[in-house]
Structure 1
């Protein structure tokens, strides 16, 4: 599994993250740049005019504190604004600049995405700055961006250009980058089918105030082979979800029933891309593995397993097209193609806050549906085998995407009642 990238050399960290950004379609072969400033004040940065889809560690440039350039290429043409950010903000240790499509959409209409569209983004992204257009690669561009960072921002929309984000390390910057692009995408897709609705600051604070790690700790823990096998399976599905844009660094919970109502679940506060089997938390007899904090949604997973003996795996995540329905309240009619209805049937929506522990909402945990959307928060997918549950997530996201994209062509014509009844008789009876 992936190692914790912050323990790697800056060259390797940069190539890992630029590869993720490129493969997710959030930058082009020639676009975007990443840098890290080390403890000696040396800046490691992506090279100019080198294919972002095949960068190697040996391609990364080091610009030393005295200005000496070490490497076989020229540093990125945008190096001046990276340097300006580090000079303006000593707390910033890494910078990402790219041209992800949704955030570019906001930059060309001169708008800033409202991160109150989902629960956690406000705290991950912080307030968003706005830098006026200046010539790319110029000192002027460095000045206007540095001025925004001096105001305390860590995320900036660059007018007619893209976005630039800083972080305490590269993982922190990438989490902010991913979350901001996710917000922008969700708002865009939601706007194609309805009117996005936003959370109040009070609702978000209530979400953040929920207790984590409320389960008591186990005194001892055992790791039999079948348990370890499930840990590995969870990590593989989380990695796959991240690669396919069905999960982001800062949000996504996966669990598997292990023995009776005992289960394994992903932790809270861990970057999903870098998850490994040691991060997974065992929940046994209502107690958690010592020195680990399970997802704050662990109680939902526990109740689903307690009350639904046929459910053996759960994925709780944010994917952009499903969340377009989650932020607008529009009905997601999965009668698009036979496979969608057979796997998912109807997808209901519950109100934001119903997933808070104090509410213990029966719509979520009793006779739980294969797929359920929580407004402005997430989608919950349940199933037997974890791969099957992941398949349901993919089918749900593809169905949502087809409806969002098809909306510009005309009104959706779903499979009719007679056709649904034929499907019910053939596949579900």
Structure 2
């Protein structure tokens, strides 16, 4: 049986780590977990992630209706984005949205992280798409991410930040953490002269290792460069 207190403690721990790592400032970011009964625990709006405690978390249903909340607390305005993830991905039980500086730099520069230059990230995340711009708190954001949810566990939100989903809150956090480190390494590589992809043959070997390492979630496959027509093609894994 699921220990709700343990889940709440994990959410709070993740929130505090996000703040300590500099992925969020002031009231930025939000975290949610889908429970076994289908209801959702979510962080409230208007509160720094450094101040999140178990009693401040809000319980909502799958439609976003508040079931339990301390007086004066309400769900994040971005909860629609979380609900879309749970609606489209039955395997997802946690959603994290943050503004990690490296990855968000790509989002602000309107650059998808469609590269295969890091061994770990090739196997775990794959390419990270840039989703179209959407006004926060509206249906524009969930509508913008919907086409990407089928294949991607991590995505960049244009001019906004990053989104990661997982089978639990720790998995979602790890994916966001991997994304940010990967973004920083890629930026450093570009500064040093260029980022170079792993060969397609070795990319496939890394993707095949997902089963061995019991990596859950979705993987988008990988790109193949065709020098004859100078087009980036997508190869499914």
* Fold in common (TM above 0.5): yes
Q: Which residue of 1 aligns with 2:33?
A: 36
C-alpha distance in 2 between matches for 1:209 and 1:139: 36
Find the residue that maps to 1:53 and give its secondary structure: helix
- 1:25/1:120 CA distance change after superposition, 3 Å: same
Residue 126 of structure 1, CA deviation: 3.2
Give the deviation of 1:208 after TM superposition.
Answer: 6.7
Q: Are 1:166 and 2:165 counterparts?
A: yes
Structure 1 CA distance for aligned equivalents of residues 33 and 157 of structure 2 = 20
**Among 9, 12, 20, which residue is 2:9 paired with?**
12
Unaligned runs of 5+ in 1: 1-5, 214-267, 271-429
Does residue 146 of the first structure (1) align with residue 146 of the second (2)?
yes
What secondary structure, in the 3-state scheme, does the structure 1 residue paired with 2:116 have?
helix
**Which whole-Å deviations, capped at 9, do the CAs of 1:130-153 have from their partners, x for residues lacking one?**
32111101012112222321x321
Bigger Cα Rg: 1
Structure 2 length-normalised TM: 0.80
What is the DSSP-based 3-state SS (H/G/I as helix, E as strand, rest coil) of the residue aligned with 1:120? Answer: helix
Q: 1:178 Cα deviation (Å)?
A: 1.0
Does residue 68 of the first structure (1) align with residue 40 of the second (2)? no
Structure 1 segment 122-133 matched on structure 2, within 5 A: 122-133=122-133
C-alpha separation in 2, matches of 1:206 and 1:141 = 35
Higher relative contact order (CA 8 A, sep 6+): 2
DSSP-derived class of the 2:179 partner:
helix
TM-score by length of 1: 0.45
Written as runs of structure 1 = structure 2, the 5 A alignment for 1:27-426 is 27-65=24-62, 67-72=65-70, 73-149=73-149, 151-206=150-205
Q: 1:189 to 1:15 in 2, by over 3 A?
A: same
SS in 2 for 1:181: helix
Question: How far is the alpha carbon of 1:168 from its aligned partner?
Answer: 1.3
- CA spacing shift, 1:185–1:48, aligned 2, 3 Å: same
Structure 1 stretches of 4+ moved >6 Å: none
**Structure 2, gaps ≥5 residues long:** 216-237
TM-fit CA distance, 1:206: 4.0
